[in-house]
């Protein structure tokens, strides 16, 4: 029980902040076509492989790119991990049981959705789905875990 692979409780809030901020920006950019790119994030970045749209794949290049999306993705993933995998205020075996079950549930749900998408989406929409799938596992896990904790709290308050 000592080695639980969890972050300290204090990271929970900062995790939520990063996760929500990142997701808001991502959805604004993707769904509502808001330009979230900041011009001062245009940088030259060293990459190992790059495959430009109209030319051959190149190796070990400096590419000019805007890193807004890298930062947004980083914020969602780091934030989600911190929020989902920080200890609770009272971290006990019931909470770890709920966390484990939520994780299993989220993996099943996430891949079920992906399998369904294979048959009902095509082309760019399928591509968008796969992009979103980078975050949905974390998202479903967090929603399920928080919901189960809420239900637990509510049922034990009723008497």
Partner 1 sequence: MRAIHELTQQDLADKIQVSRQTIHTIEKGKYVPSTLLALKMAAVFQVNVLEIFEIEESDWS
User: Which residues are at the interface with partner 1 (CB under 8 A)?
Assistant: 1, 88, 90, 92-95, 97, 152-153, 155-156
Nearer to partner 1, 93 or 123 (CB): 93
Work out the number of other CB atoms within 10 angstroms of the CB of residue 18: 21
55/6 Cα distance (integer angstroms) = 45
| Residue 60 falls in which region: left (phi positive, over 0), alpha (psi -120 to 50) or beta | left
- Min separation Cβ 149 and partner 1, Å: 9
Considering the complex, state which of residue 3 and residue 39 has its C-beta at the smaller distance from partner 1: 3
Residues 57-60: contacts with CB within 8 Å, 24+ apart?
Answer: none
We find the least distance from the C-beta atom of residue 158 to partner 1, in angstroms, to be 10
Question: Nearest approach, Cβ of 88 to partner 1 (angstroms)?
Answer: 8
């Amino acid at each position: 029980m000592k080695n639980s692979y969890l972050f300290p409780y204090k990271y929970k809030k900062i995790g939520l902040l990063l996760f929500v901020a990142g997701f808001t920006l991502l959805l604004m950019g993707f769904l509502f076509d808001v330009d979230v790119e900041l011009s001062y994030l245009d940088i030259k970045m060293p990459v190992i492989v790059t495959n430009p749209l109209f030319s051959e794949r190149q190796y070990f290049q400096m590419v000019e790119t805007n890193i807004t999306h890298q930062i947004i993705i980083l914020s969602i993933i780091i934030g989600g991990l911190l929020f989902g995998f920080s200890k609770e205020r009272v971290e006990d075996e019931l909470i770890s049981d709920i966390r484990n079950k939520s994780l299993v549930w989220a993996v099943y749900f996430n891949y079920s959705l992906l399998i369904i998408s294979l048959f009902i989406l095509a082309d760019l929409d399928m591509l968008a789905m796969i992009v979103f799938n980078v975050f949905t596992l974390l998202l479903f896990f967090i929603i399920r875990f928080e919901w189960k904790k809420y239900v637990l709290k509510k049922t034990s308050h009723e008497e």
